[in-house]
Amino acid sequence: MKMGNNKLFAPSADRNKGPILEVLQKYYPYEKNKDSHLFCLEISSGTGQQVVHFAKNLPFMTFQPSEITISNLPSIQDYVVESGLTNVLSPLAIDVTDPIDRWNLGRENFDLIININMMHISPWECTLSLFEKAGKLLSSKGLLITYGPYAHHGVISPESNINFNQSLKARDAQWGLRDIDELQSVANRNGLELMEIEEMPSNNKTLVWKKIFAIEVKLM
């Protein structure tokens, strides 16, 4: 859905931004961080609705949005400009499978990386690359926070998620709900461990991953 100017509007993003913010505030409470200057990279920012909501409510953190879909970049930029916030930057065109030196980040590390509703609507290669890049870009004890529907211990539930998974695979055989157990194996290989599973509305989950050891970054 398109609004005025270039802004796109996704009803699901609007519904989810509040519950996801609550999780972010749990791990980055204002009183503890109000004098900090933290940096967050969002991979797959979608329309831009959520990142400005996060930035408004987490003023001690600077957000770098990004998106692979070039046509979404003007929408994200319009949300950023309209917000008037100084702690959210202009979006970057980032393909998570590209080498980091092609991302034009301007930084070599981040305190937080966010990824919302990407894994199940992208090839498995994108998930592998997300964890690989997070292992390299997160600062010591930094967090990767991912949100979406997931399988767990080989089981998808409830039935609505089973049906959703089937519909995704019918659209693209490379899509589908990822199993948390398999994600843990990928994360561990990249210096991350699963710290918490937060139950969310509409049968979604927020997974909180913590960096436990450093992965070397090789920039050209």
Q: Is the pTM of this model over 0.75?
A: yes
pLDDT in tens, 88-100: 999 999 999 999 9
Q: Which domains does the chain have, with CATH numbers?
A: 11-211 (3.40.50.150)
Alpha-carbon gap, residue 84 to 86, rounded angstroms? 7
pLDDT surpassing 70 at residue 217: no
Kindly report the backbone phi and psi dihedral angles of residue 42, in degrees, each rounded to the nearest multiple of 5, phi listed first. Answer: -105, 120
Measuring CA to CA, how many Å separate 127 from each of 96, 176, 178, 183? 9, 12, 9, 8
At 4 the pLDDT is 54
Quote the tokens at residue 163: 């049906």
Given pLDDT bands bounded at 50, 70 and 90, which one contains residue 210?
very high
Report the candidate in 138, 164, 133, 152 with the shortest Cα–Cα distance to residue 199: 152
Measuring CA to CA, how many Å separate 151 from each of 165, 175, 178, 210, 212? 10, 13, 6, 20, 24
pLDDT in tens, 35-62: 999 999 999 999 999 999 999 999 999 9
